[in-house]
Amino acid sequence: MKHSIVNATNFKATCLALLDEIDRNGGTVTITKRGRAVATLGQVKRPKWKSTKGSWAGKVNIDMDIVNFQMDWGPIDEILNPPTRRLADTKRISKRPKRIPA
């Protein structure tokens, strides 16, 4: 299919079939309304797929062992892994309010 002209009524009835045909074979479809061209339907230009494999080759240099990496997190480590507390270390807090003598 190179180029075809379809009126609006036929386009509404065969829209999906026309889209499939354009996707398979390319070409364009001109849609008319009362004999006057109002739209042109064509295939989208797709960019060629480019593999990302090797895209950082020669641009990045890794100077350390990234598999067995150990880092001292300092205070952040205490936030992420707080020390466990025993019941004996915590103070008992009474939930009852204190009585006020009359």
pLDDT at residue 100 tops 80: no
Range list of H helices, the chain? 8-25, 75-80
Predicted TM-score (pTM) of the model is 0.46
Task: Determine contact, residues 26/1, Cβ cutoff 8 Å.
Answer: yes
Question: pLDDT (tens digit, 9 = 90+) per residue, 1-20?
Answer: 689 999 999 999 999 999 99
Domain annotation for the chain: domains and CATH numbers? 3-42 (3.40.1620)
At 66, the amino acid letter reads I
How many residues does the structure list for the chain?
102
Task: Determine contact, residues 31/41, Cβ cutoff 8 Å.
Answer: yes
How far apart (Å, rounded) are the C-alpha atoms in residues 49 and 85? 56
The pLDDT assigned to 61 comes to 84
